[in-house]
Structure formats: C-alpha cells, structure tokens
C-alpha cells in the first residue's frame, strides 16, 4: 500500500500528537502496519541516548512496527522554538532531502507512514522555506487537526484555504477538544462539518493526562474514536 499522510495542525498545541497516536493505535488494532514520522521536533530533553523529543517518542511507541528513534525523528532540536530559530542556534541546516530520505525508508518498512508536522501549516524551517513546502514537494494528502477552542473556526478555515492553495488535498480532519469545558462545542463542530473539506475522522474528547500517562497507556483508549475508513487504509 505504501501510503503516507501528513498531519497538520491549525496552530501549535492543538493536539497533533494525541491525534496521530490515536490514528497509529487504531491502525495497529486493525492490523495495518503504520509508522509515525516526526521529521522536525523542537523542544527536547538531554538523555543518555542524546536529544529526545517527547512527541517523537510517543509516535515511536504507538507505531505498529519497531523503528529506531532516529528513523522517527531525523531533526531534533533542544529549545521549544520555531525550527528555523532552533536550527540557526544549533548551526544546523534542515534539508528537504533528509526529510524525503527518511520518508522513503519508512515506506519500505510499512504499509502507511503518518507524518506529524511541527506547529502550524506555515512553520518556517529557514528564512525562505516552510515545512509545508516539503509537503507540497512530496504531494502528501493532509489530515487537519483542529483544536476546538475559541478562535478555532477562523484558524481552521484559513489553514484549509492555505493547504488547498498549495494544491494539496485535505482527506479528513479531526476535532480535538483541548479544554475540559468548551462553550458552543456542538455548534462549532456542526459549522466545521459544513465548511471544511474532507470528512471528519474523529472527535477526541478532552482527557487530562500528563505525558508519562500517555506513554504508559499507549493511547489505546484514543483509537476507539477514529474512523479509519475515511483514509481507505487496507485497500
């Protein structure tokens, strides 16, 4: 099958990792060999094994196949800042060729690669390029994660318009409730269903859980919210 999907967020901290792990676990339960890929990660911890980003570790653990950390996350930066700032501080250059090589390698090992972005759609990787430029180069179909909160309707529509302006397809979207209480939640979901391209893949409710708890539970309980049929996996 060798499919690949790019998970984009309407902003930073909207739940891309939670939604990506939910997709990965749903695929695992369905017997589909899906692997997570976090090409660029800012905000990492120094460990005995080197820099490790918590989002990338979660994707590695939720994947259906065994892969190394470096396969999941080729560019790891220490500070939780925009990749172009982090790369400059660490005197590194983010190269599209490295991202593409990593994707190609994971495709040979799996049926599907789920690629989690960094920040929002137009996150810069240097003074002239965006991560979205690489997504366009690879012609990847997009899954949009919408963090349901005040202001999300504007962010969702603008992001969807930018993705489509880049000539890419939004195959589906996920509503992620980022706060325990969200005023007019049902009305916002209805509006998004009417306005966003692609089908709704899931509504993931707010769950209070720290990162260690997420790792311990392996996101198995998130999988039940995912409708994999939207992605035509296994076909």
Instruction: Find out whether 117 is annotated in a ligand binding site.
Output: yes
CB contact burial 48-69 (16+ within 10 A = b; e otherwise):
eeebbbbbbbbbbbbbbeebeb
Instruction: Find out whether 76 is annotated in a ligand binding site.
Output: no
Q: How many whole angstroms separate alpha carbon 142 and alpha carbon 171?
A: 6
Instruction: Find out whether 50 is annotated in a ligand binding site.
Output: no
Among residues of the chain, what percentage have pLDDT more than 70? 93
- Residue 175's pLDDT is what? 97
- Residue 221's pLDDT is what? 75
| Pairing state between β 142-148 and 34-37 | unpaired
Spans of all domains in the chain:
4-229
- Residue 66's pLDDT is what? 97
Instruction: Find out whether 10 is annotated in a ligand binding site.
Output: no
Predicted confidence (pLDDT) at residue 44 exceeds the cutoff of 60: yes
Confirm whether 92 is a catalytic residue.
no
Instruction: Find out whether 220 is annotated in a ligand binding site.
Output: no
Token pair of 92 as six digits: 């590194």
Predicted confidence (pLDDT) at residue 234 exceeds the cutoff of 70: no
Q: Which helix (H) or strand (E) holds 5?
A: strand 3-9
Q: Which CATH number fits domain 4-229: 3.40.50.150, 3.40.50.300, 2.102.10.10, 3.30.420.40?
A: 3.40.50.300
Please tell me the pTM assigned to this model: 0.94
Tell me the DSSP string of 142-177: EEEEEEESTTHHHHHHHHHHHHHHTT--EEEEEEEE
Per residue in 184-232, pLDDT (tens digit) is 999 999 999 999 999 999 999 987 654 444 544 445 678 999 999 998 8
- Residue 222's pLDDT is what? 83
Which member of 28, 38, 95, 218 is catalytic?
38
Instruction: Find out whether 78 is annotated in a ligand binding site.
Output: no
């Amino acid at each position: 099958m060798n499919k690949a999907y790019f998970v984009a967020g309407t902003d930073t901290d909207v739940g891309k990792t939670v939604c990506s792990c939910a997709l990965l676990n749903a695929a695992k339960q369905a017997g589909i060999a899906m692997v997570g890929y976090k090409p660029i990660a800012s905000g990492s911890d120094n460990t005995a094994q080197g820099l490790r980003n918590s989002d990338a570790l979660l994707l590695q653990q939720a994947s259906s196949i065994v892969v190394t950390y470096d396969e999941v996350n080729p560019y790891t930066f220490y500070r939780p800042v925009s990749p172009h700032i982090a790369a400059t501080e660490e005197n590194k250059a983010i190269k599209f060729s490295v991202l593409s090589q990593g994707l190609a390698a994971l495709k040979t090992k799996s049926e599907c690669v789920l690629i989690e972005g960094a920040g929002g759609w137009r996150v810069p990787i240097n003074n002239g390029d965006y991560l979205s430029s690489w997504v366009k180069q690879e012609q990847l179909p997009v899954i949009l994660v919408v963090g349901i909160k005040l202001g999300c309707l504007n962010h969702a529509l603008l992001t969807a318009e930018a993705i489509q302006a880049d000539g890419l397809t939004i195959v589906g979207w996920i509503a992620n409730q980022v706060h325990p209480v969200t005023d007019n939640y049902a009305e916002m979901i209805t509006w998004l269903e009417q306005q966003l391209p692609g089908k709704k893949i899931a509504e993931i409710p707010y769950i209070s859980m720290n990162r260690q708890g997420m790792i311990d539970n392996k996101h198995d309980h998130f999988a039940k919210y995912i409708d994999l049929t939207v992605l035509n996996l296994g076909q």
